[in-house]
Structure 1
Amino acid sequence: MSNENSEISGPMLPSKRQDVLPQRVYLLNFDITNLPSTLQFLALCGAVFFFYVGYGYFQELIFQLDGMRPFGWYLTFIQFGFYSIFSFSEMKCSGGIVRRIPLSIYAQLAFYTVATMGLSNASVGYLNYPTQVIFKCCKLIPVLIGGILIQGKRYGCWDLLAASLMSFGLILFSLADSQVSPNFDPRGYIMISFALVADAIIGNVQEKSMKNYNAQNKEVVLFSYSIGCVYIFILLLITGELFDGFAFFWNNPWKTYGYSVIFSILGFAGVNVVLTLVRITGALMAVTVTTMRKAVTIIVSFILFSKPFTMTYVWAGLIVLSAIYVNLYSKNKSKWDEYIFSHFRKRKIDHQLLTLRV
């Protein structure tokens, strides 16, 4: 699960359960079921913006530290460690540790989780942060390819149009970045591209596994991150980054470990809030909120961290935004068409009634 990538790749997929009684609505551990639905929605939206804008701020802030650039994987190791602790505590408090998916599948899921989050974190050292955020918005492209190759899915013209628009928007954003960024480094694009490919694979594998074994999100989060933490530990040992990273972080623990702890808490909390938002409002509203959150993150990044700006960023972002909604329309075409046509029919009837009265 990549945080929002998740917004959130795999573990963000809500498990499909049909309860007889209405489910309780929680904002983290606070029960907000008795609040009016509007207040529930506003509280969850506020939490999404707070946690994820803060998550993005601290992620970029960490990489502003002199010498931090090579230690993206060490940061990911710390993040995986905290996510494992948080998810373990959450499962313990909610009924105990239960595993339904075989460990062999979790070994694969952990590998792809490590790839998507590790490469995503590492890419921040080589990319403008807004560029990284835009790329993460476009995981439809590898998800579409992964769905065809892994699950044999078929996609219609609206999905292909959305993927094409996203590709065009990414090209524009990348060209703008190469023209105005003095630190343009192709390695960042390679890292974030591979992160998206891993994200596409993990999303499809998790969806299939959770359906086949009726597993819950908490279980997938715990085992994916705990096994992934072992993977990263071995990788850091082999490359020698474990000791170099520890020495670098220990030289300034308040700004390194301190920022990393806050970064991890905000990310884990954000994942849980988005899951709740998806469950009570549906995918369309959740995507709208998280997309607006990403737009705010990009604006905050330009305001708080000095970086060059060009209007091409705006046009490229709008193209990607339109692609996201084309993709949503393709998934909800019949429902949206019914709503649009009923709206026009109502307006036509109202106009006819008004004409008769006149």
Structure 2
Amino acid sequence: MVGQLLFCAAGIYLFFLTWGVLQERISTLDYVSVIDGSHGRFRFFLVLNLIQSIACVFVAYSVLRLQRRTLGPCSPSVLKQYARVALTGCLGSPFGYEALRHINYPTMILGKSCKLIPVMLMNFVVYRRKFEWYKYVSVAMITAGVSGFMLFEKEGGRGGANSLYGLLLLLINLMVDGATNSWQDKMFIDHRLYGPQMMFFMHLFSSIFLFLYLLLNPWNHEFSAALAFARNYPTVRGDVALFGLCGALGQVFVFYTLEHFGSLSLVTITVTRKLFTILLSLLWFQHRMRLSQWLCVGVVFLALVLESFYKRLVRDHQKTLKT
């Protein structure tokens, strides 16, 4: 089980680190027009999300075909649950983007670092799910360690004030994400789903919601503008296609982790990913870290080791009782 979890973490890190590089390239590169040689930047992020969702649908379906599995339960009640999860997944991001207009970036990063707490809270509030004591200790230590690391990294360059409205939007973003994760957990348990099945239907509904919004919203012309941009700047097509593919392959590992280990383990991986990315960058380019940051890294590693140790201890104890 530990080996599987490490494999999932490696897949998520690999594909989403590449995905992040491509996202930055698409949003910051000055593409050159084949028509008049002018420069332009891709600013159509809802269309980018739509392409990502469509890529996830095709990749999930391909994985199911390779595994010779069906799409799973498709009754109206199950489809309604898929639609609910997809809708909350779509709604979470706009709150985060809007929050960033009213709070500074370090506050956003610190809030995202505490994502483990609302995920655990929503599991308890909505489904009365309880966790082992070492899970609570591990979550507290990881949250404190990652938050402290980000805080010490960003200090001195904070810029901008934080409004109460922005903090409220950030809280809504975290709670919506927590609700999405807990609903996914419940669907896996209730319907015995496989990861690609959840991935297929969730992104199918997400694609429908995003497409309808872009097509029917009279105040939003992003879809037609993105098509025009792709015609004038054809280089962007390859970047966007690769972006969608890397995101979709990363999602395979995400939903496999959800299926086998639950949302709390998944969020632990995604929350620590940024810390390990920054740590790798610091070591690779031989930058210096403050002693306080090293202490925070130590807290996170200690939390992960303690959780792994006690999880194995509990599993060995249960095996002993069965024999």
**Matching of residues 91-240 of structure 1 within 5 Å:** 91-93=64-66, 94-100=68-74, 102-116=78-92, 136=112, 138-155=114-131, 158-165=134-141, 166=143, 169-170=146-147, 173=150, 177=154, 179-180=156-157, 194-237=172-215, 238=217, 239-240=219-220
For residues 281-325 of structure 1, the C-alpha deviation after alignment (integer angstroms, 9 at most, x for no partner) is 999999998777544533577799xxx998499369627725852
CA distance in 1, matches of 2:120, 2:201: 26
For residues 30-50 of structure 1, the C-alpha deviation after alignment (integer angstroms, 9 at most, x for no partner) is xxxxxxxx9x99987765553
**Matching of residues 290-301 of structure 1 within 5 Å:** 294-298=274-278
**Matching of residues 210-289 of structure 1 within 5 Å:** 210-237=188-215, 238=217, 239-240=219-220, 241-255=222-236, 257-273=237-253
What runs of 5+ residues in structure 1 fail to find an aligned partner? 1-13, 15-37, 339-358
Which residue, 53, 56, 67 being the options, matches 2:20?
56
CA distance in 2, matches of 1:258, 1:185: 38
For residues 203-260 of structure 1, the C-alpha deviation after alignment (integer angstroms, 9 at most, x for no partner) is 21122122212222222111110111111122334241323444445443423x3222
Q: Shift of the alpha carbon at 1:100?
A: 4.2
Query: Taking structure 2 as the reference length, what is the TM-score of the superposition?
Result: 0.66
Identity across matched positions, percent: 21
CA distance in 1, matches of 2:258, 2:197: 18
Q: 1:42 to 1:195 in 2, by over 3 A?
A: closer
Equivalent residue letter for 1:57 = V
Whether contact under 8 Å (1:126, 1:184) holds in the other structure is: yes
Whether contact under 8 Å (1:71, 1:122) holds in the other structure is: no
Whether contact under 8 Å (1:124, 1:132) holds in the other structure is: yes
Query: Taking structure 1 as the reference length, what is the TM-score of the superposition?
Result: 0.61
User: What RMSD over aligned residues (CA atoms) do the two structures have, in Å?
Assistant: 5.2
Aligned residues: 299
Q: Shift of the alpha carbon at 1:130?
A: 9.4
